[in-house]
Structure 1
Amino acid sequence: MSIVDIETGMFGSIAASLVYPAAAILALLWIYMQIVRSPVVLTHAHETIHIPIVDPDTHRIRRMPLSEFVKKHCPGLYGPKAVYHPTLWLSNGHLQTIFTSFYNDKMKNANYFNNGFRYERDHLQLPDGGNIALDWCPGPNRHPFDETPIVVILHGLTGGSHESYIKDLVREVTKGPQYYRCVVVNFRGCAGTKLTTSQLYCAAYTGDIKFALDYIRRKCPESPLIGIGFSLGANIILKAVGEMGSDCPFIAAISVGNPYDLLISSRALHRSLVGKIYSAAMTVSLKSLFRSHIDAIKDQELIDPDHVLKARRITDFDDRATRIAFRYRTVDEYYRLGSSAPHIPNVRVPLLCLHAIDDPIAHKEALPYHEIRSNPYAILATTQQGGHLGWWSGNFTIKRWFPGPVHEFITAMFETYLSLPPDLQKTFATPIGLSAPLVPSRAILPFSTPIDPHIIHKEIHATSFGESDNDLSDSEVELESVPDPNTHTHTNNNTDGTATPVPDPTSAGASRSHPTQPAQPVPASQLLRPTPALHRAVSRQSSATHIYALFLIKKLVETIRYKGIVVVLLSWFFGYYMGKSRRLLN
């Protein structure tokens, strides 16, 4: 055997020994990629509105359900291509979110459009003396205002038009063949805008975006509009769309990475150590923005700048600055009233909500599944992975996934709307095709939905014993704060997120707080009659019967307020009754 044969055989055996490990590694990678692949899941009402479309075959107008329209025209949201494949080394929501933060810093000042477009800034003066910046792309100098459809974009917390997720969407929307126009509405004090009043912005305040929409409509009266918001901007734009209802100037709206319920999202965020780190990082950004405008903000008499700059969590900052500036009594009240989820049933334009289940900031607990299913205008698209405004895909050339499906939805809506005659454009979002009429929304009160009174009774039953008289009086106040359903009261929703109660003119002296009517005396025969519920209580545990008796005594004395002798007699009688309860009931 020659030396060449020996070397060939040796290298062949080495190569053969490497084939199996390589094949095993590739197989494991393939299995891993199949596990982390994230199909898009759509949630919507059983019946969605029918929007008018032009049949491409017959060129006649017909109606199509919104859900079917999305499934047909948006392959990135429904079908075999509606799958998000995360980057191999960014398959976790935290990794996606952290990478997004670093990428935003990297691309902050980069010319990201690669098509010759640049932002053209337009400063808009507000009625209260403040100002916001509108960044157009393409701007009027490059492309004069005409009938080109416009996408109105709202950024996230302390962000602006420079954010990478904004630029990714702008680059996707402004490219051919449609060449739509985008305008980014920068909040007060953001993206290099000078703060000219002591008021900043918050998640509940929709006055600025409504004023900006009115300005855009005056500039481009013939251009159809679609609104899209990210994170905090998604909460603001969705809340504004719900407040405007049928008067909304958008033909459609999109919400991406929305926290929906600020109170739930805040509590979920601060539940874990990683969430507290996110909160601290966002607080640093808020304090940096606050510090850059401290000369204007210090005019607020109730805000202590030094105290604000010592905040360590986002709830601390909101409690020391935001809720004071916007006249909320507590930070939880600001979170409740500023949430966009209660306004979803009032939306009257096609709405697409895009969310990642593993979003560590806009937590999945706050996802408004019931509100989405109750509104035939709304569709929720979720993926298991994606993080907060991430959705990074590709292992070598990394790019975001979400601009593709969002662009498909925008294009489908604009093209369908522009293909219709003017009379049908006016009725584009008319609720047609529903078997039942839409249920009108009740007025959104400045507090949560009242708890059912019988639940409060059960809570008092379980917790009031062994407490002081002061604790019991607190329970009574809580019970009296439940609005009387027979009293007609409605509210006017303000643009700052608060609600002003307005008494009904037909009922004099009507107010938000209605004291309950005095309870009528209950006959003793009804109180002392053995009931099936009492039988079950005695058979389970005799202590439950004692609690029930003490509860009745306490409520009876508080309600009818007989003389002391009655209290003594009733106490003696019920004590005797408790001792003989088993014999009497048997």
Structure 2
Amino acid sequence: MPIISSTFKAKGLFKSGHFSTIYSAKLRPIPKVIQERKRLELSDGDFIDIDWSFSEKKDTKVAILLHGLEGDAQRVYIKGQAKMLVENGWDVAAMNHRGCSGEENRLYLSYNSGRTEDLEELIDHVIQYHKYDTICLIGFSLGGNVILKYLGERNHVPQQIKNGVAISTPLYLRGALEQLVKPENMVYSKTFINDLRKKYKRKMNQFPDAMNSEELKKIQNLLDFDTLYTAKAHGFQDAYDYYEKSSSLQYLPNIKIPVLILNAANDSFLSPECYPFDIAKHHKNIYLESPKHGGHVGFHVTNKVYYSEKRTLQFINK
């Protein structure tokens, strides 16, 4: 019955989910960690860029980090986690999803909440060309959904993968969408859709036969974007088909290695389905921790160290 009673206690203004979310994304000083970019050419002719950080301890452990929607491997939460890991003997491979590394990807398709093929190719590359005997998967928000789906949709995963951590993860995508369109979350949904509209416009220049300005005008919210681009580009019938097939919640019972799901109770991005207490109660590998505070990727302790960073290290080292 691995439901964890969290020790995290937010202080002052950080008890507010919105304050901790916004502060952590926009105001936290960016932790200093060295990153070395290497490009991975993919089997379909596209590419992803990986930002590597290396520990001085020359160990045989690597953590693969996945960022959230329209993020990248330079986001403060990625660098904070990477710094904590490299200082404690872990190398880090922070993956930029297709089109998120500052250069547009080559193909019409991109990334989405359930696309695990790129993660699989990165894992295969790490196993083939590096000498790691221990791999941990760590995902934030959308990236958390990707790693949980990857671990649950396959009958077997490489033996080098020992555990995983999913932080502030929308396990049920339709519910998360319905949360984001609520008035209290307007500032977040507006930010996301503005970024996605810009991405659509840039991609429209690459693929004028598949994308056009009339469709761009119709994209006013996240559901529109997933209807007019995500579903069409990635082979789904519509946005709701995408949400149903890509949600990691349905794959949790199949996970065969220990995973920690760290979702704050006051994360305004998450619907009730994103807190799978019933599954965790009956599954030896699903560890669910739901502290009262923390917002969305906002588990502030100090500017230098977040609870999620310490908790992740503790979980993967045990």
Mark yes or no: TM-score above 0.5. yes
Matched with 2:171 is: 260
Cα-Cα RMSD: 2.3
The 3 A distance-change label for structure 1 pair 91 and 287 is same
Deviation at 1:160, TM superposition (A): 1.1
Specify the SS of the correspondent of 2:50. Answer: strand
**Does 2:317 correspond to 1:377?**
no
Shift in alpha-carbon separation, 1:158–1:410, aligned structure 2, 3 A: same
Q: Please list the CA deviations of residues 396-439 of structure 1 after superposition, one character each: whole Å capped at 9, or x if unmatched.
A: x6752211111111222xxxxxxxxxxxxxxxxxxxxxxxxxxx
| 1:472-530 CA distance string (max 9 Å, x none) | xxxxxxxxxxxxxxxxxxxxxxxxxxxxxxxxxxxxxxxxxxxxxxxxxxxxxxxxxxx
1:223 alignment partner AA: D
Conserved 8 A contact 1:234-1:255: yes
Aligned match of 2:136 = 226
Q: For the residues of structure 1 that align with 2:104 and 2:129, how far apart are their CA atoms? A: 23
The whole-number CA distance in structure 2 between the counterparts of 1:136 and 1:398 is 20
- Supply the distance in 2 between the matched residues of 1:398 and 1:309 (Cα, whole angstroms): 42
Aligned equivalent of 2:225: 317
Q: 1:297 to 1:168 in 2, by over 3 A?
A: farther
- Structure-2 change in CA distance of 1:392 and 1:218 (3 Å): same
Residue 169 in structure 1 maps to residue 81 in structure 2: yes
The one-letter code sitting in structure 1 at the alignment partner of 2:105 is: L
Asked if 2 retains the 8 angstrom alpha-carbon contact of 1:123 and 1:134, the reply is yes
Instruction: Indicate how the Cα distance of structure 1 residues 391 and 297 shifts in structure 2: closer, same or farther if over 3 A, else same.
Output: farther
* Map of 1:404 onto structure 2: 310
Residues 134, 195 of structure 1: alpha-carbon distance in 2 compared, 3 angstrom cutoff: same
Contact 2:172 2:271 in 1 (8 A): no
The one-letter code of the counterpart of 2:145 is N
- Distance between the aligned counterparts of 2:81 and 2:296, measured in 1? 15
Alignment equivalent of 1:194, drawn from 76, 92, 104: 104
Take 2:22 and 2:134, find their aligned partners in 1: how far apart are those partners?
Answer: 36
- Which segment drifts farther, 322-331 or 397-406? 397-406
Shift, 1:193, TM fit = 3.4
Counterpart residue type for residue 133 of structure 1: D
1:208 maps to 2:124: no
Q: CA deviation at 1:151?
A: 0.5
Q: CA distance change for structure 1 residues 253 and 305 in 2, over 3 Å: closer, same or farther?
A: farther
- Residue deviations 1:60-96 (CA, integer Å, cap 9, x gap): xxxxxxxxxxxxxxxxx66xxx522323122111111
1:390 aligns to 2:298 (yes or no): yes
Q: CA deviation at 1:295?
A: 2.6
Distance in structure 1 (CA, Å) of the matches to 2:231 and 2:99 = 17
Equivalents in 2 of 1:83, 1:371: separation in Å?
A: 22
Say whether the 8 Å CA contact 2:171–2:273 is kept in structure 1: no
Structure 1 residue corresponding to 2:257, chosen from 329, 335, 349: 349
CA contact (8 A) 1:103 1:164 kept: no
> Amino acid of the residue matched to residue 19 of structure 2?
L
Instruction: Report SS of the residue matched to 2:154.
Output: helix
CA drift of 1:191 comes to 2.3
Deviation at 1:376, TM superposition (A): 1.6
Cα distance, 1:305 vs structure 2 = 4.6
Cα deviation, 1:164-207, whole Å, max 9, x if unaligned, reads 111111111111xx421000011000021331111111112111
Q: CA deviation at 1:136?
A: 0.6
Secondary structure in 1 matching 2:290: strand
Rounded to whole Å, the distance in 2 between the matches of 1:402 and 1:102 is 17
- 1:150 to 2:74 alignment: no
**Aligned equivalents of 1:157 and 1:133: distance in 2?**
16
Distance, in Å, in 2 between the alignment partners of 1:227 and 1:333 is 26
Which residue in 2 is equivalent to 1:251?
162
C-alpha contact 1:136 1:182 (8 A) present in aligned 2: yes
Contact kept in structure 2, 1:199 and 1:297, CA below 8 Å? no
Cα offset, 1:309, TM superposition: 5.2
Equivalent AA in structure 1 for residue 70 of structure 2: T
Indicate conservation of the 8 Å contact 1:356/1:385, yes or no.
Answer: yes
Equivalent runs, 1:105-116 vs 2, <5 Å: 107=30, 112-113=31-32
Instruction: Indicate if the aligned counterparts of 1:44 and 1:380 stay in contact, CA closer than 8 A.
Output: yes
Aligned to 2:107, what secondary structure does the other structure show?
Answer: coil
Larger RCO (CA within 8 A; separation ≥ 6): 2
CA gap 1:373/1:305 in 2 versus in 1, 3 angstroms: farther
| Aligned ranges 1:272-283 → 2 under 5 Å | 272-283=182-193
Whether contact under 8 Å (1:243, 1:343) holds in the other structure is yes
Aligned with residue 128 of structure 1, among 27, 34, 44:
44
Q: Is the 8 A contact 2:176 2:269 kept in 1?
A: yes
1:98 alignment partner in structure 2: 22
Assess, with a 3 A threshold, how the Cα gap between structure 1 residues 373 and 296 changes in structure 2: closer, same or farther.
farther
Q: Conserved in 1, the CA contact under 8 Å of 2:49 and 2:95?
A: yes
- The amino acid that maps onto 1:264 is G
Residue 246 of structure 1 aligns with an amino acid whose one-letter code is H
User: CA contact under 8 A between 1:138 and 1:181: conserved in structure 2?
Assistant: yes
What SS does the corresponding residue of 2:156 show, helix, strand or coil? Answer: helix
